[in-house]
């Protein structure tokens, strides 16, 4: 809608100052865009194209539309990340060679402002993605250009439904835990079913990634002694690397199961001893209470 029609439609006085008119027209354009669309929209499995159009309008209003169209560059050598550039250049590090203070990064204040805006833009986009679907995009990185492209590529893929199912299965494995009173055999069996489903839906997960998931889901204290021999993260904390990665998963899983079941038996025996000790203490305390109550009754009668 031309500016004059906007002014006439909303009855803006002709003698308004030029700066005031520009602010009013911007507010009116914003109002027209927002009034023609829902107040808030979250990206789900079925509304990508509607969500994309709505978000582009919102990002344009905030002055962030160029951030999703162009990738980040620090304006110097391209070595400064968005996270580094978002830290204000006034902060400095002491240079041992020169004895002087060096800026924490070489970016200009304008680039620093852009880096901060990019991080804010990622948060803004993520806030408009349904919580159930935030896992399907890399919202932990800082560049909205990358995030926007990843969302477009994932949501417009021909096998979208299968990819969603594969991601859900992967997420299930990442959060799966050994339940109270669940046996190691049942736990590993349930996890293997989900692992097979990932590949059935066309997804991918390596054997070591699967072992990392199931070992992280074990009791942190009770099964740590086994986990430290199999889990990638726990091994790296010891300066080690996983062993036998080239072996078939079934063989490695069988060996892991044997080790866990031995420990499971030890844990069960330990708990049985604790239970017996608790019962003995409880019986002893029960007799002492009964004896004390009888003595109190005798004193009362006397």
| Total domains, the chain | 2
| Same domain membership, residue 256 and residue 174 | yes
**Alpha-carbon gap, residue 198 to 213, rounded angstroms:** 13
Residue 255 lies in a domain: yes
| Same domain membership, residue 184 and residue 117 | no
Per-residue pLDDT tens over the stretch 168-220? 899 899 999 999 889 999 999 999 999 999 999 988 899 999 999 999 998 76
pLDDT value, residue 39? 62
Coil vs helix vs strand at 92: strand
**Alpha-carbon gap, residue 145 to 67, rounded angstroms:** 6
Phi then psi for residue 207, to 5 deg, are -60, -40
**Alpha-carbon gap, residue 159 to 201, rounded angstroms:** 9
| Same domain membership, residue 144 and residue 47 | yes
| Same domain membership, residue 220 and residue 169 | yes
| Same domain membership, residue 43 and residue 151 | yes
Coil vs helix vs strand at 168: helix
Per-residue pLDDT tens over the stretch 93-139? 666 777 666 666 677 888 888 989 999 999 999 999 988 787 777 65
User: Which parts of the chain fold into alpha helices (H)?
Assistant: 3-9, 18-35, 48-61, 82-85, 109-127, 144-155, 160-175, 184-200, 207-216, 224-230, 232-237, 249-301
Residue 3 lies in a domain: no
Angle among Cα 221, 227, 231 to the nearest 5 degrees reads: 135
Residue 30 lies in a domain: no
Residue 247 lies in a domain: yes
Please tell me which residue, 238 or 10, carries the higher pLDDT value: 238
| Same domain membership, residue 151 and residue 164 | no
| Same domain membership, residue 128 and residue 56 | yes
Q: What is the reported pTM?
A: 0.59
Beta pairing partners, 101: 94
**Alpha-carbon gap, residue 257 to 185, rounded angstroms:** 7
Residue-number span of the structural domain to which 74 is assigned: 36-155
């Amino acid at each position: 809608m031309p500016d004059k029609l906007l002014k006439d439609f909303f009855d803006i006085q002709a003698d308004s100052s030029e700066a005031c008119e520009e602010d009013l027209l911007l507010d009116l354009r914003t109002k027209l865009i927002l009034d023609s669309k829902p107040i808030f929209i979250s990206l789900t499995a079925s509304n990508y194209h509607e969500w994309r159009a709505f978000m582009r309008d919102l990002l344009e209003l905030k002055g962030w539309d160029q951030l999703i169209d162009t990738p980040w560059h620090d304006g110097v050598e391209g070595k400064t990340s968005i996270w580094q550039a978002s830290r204000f250049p006034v902060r400095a590090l002491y240079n041992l060679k020169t004895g002087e203070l060096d800026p924490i990064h070489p970016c200009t204040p304008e680039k620093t402002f852009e880096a901060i805006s990019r991080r804010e833009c990622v948060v803004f986009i993520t806030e408009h993605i349904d919580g159930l679907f935030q896992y399907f995009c890399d919202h932990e990185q800082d560049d909205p250009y990358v995030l926007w492209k990843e969302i477009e590529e994932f949501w417009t893929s021909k096998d979208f439904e299968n990819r969603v199912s594969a991601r859900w299965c992967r997420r299930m494995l990442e959060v799966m835990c050994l339940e109270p009173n669940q046996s190691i055999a049942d736990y590993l069996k349930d996890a293997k079913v989900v692992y097979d489903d990932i590949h059935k839906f066309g997804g991918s997960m390596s054997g070591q990634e699967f072992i990392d998931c199931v070992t992280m889901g074990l009791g942190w204290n009770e099964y740590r002694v086994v986990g430290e021999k199999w889990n990638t993260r726990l091994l790296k904390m010891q300066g080690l690397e996983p062993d036998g990665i080239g072996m078939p998963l079934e063989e490695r899983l069988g060996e892991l199961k044997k080790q866990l079941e031995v420990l499971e038996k030890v844990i069960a025996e330990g708990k049985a001893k604790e239970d017996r000790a608790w019962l003995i203490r409880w019986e002893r305390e029960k007799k002492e209470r009964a004896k004390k109550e009888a003595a109190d009754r005798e004193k009362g009668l006397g």
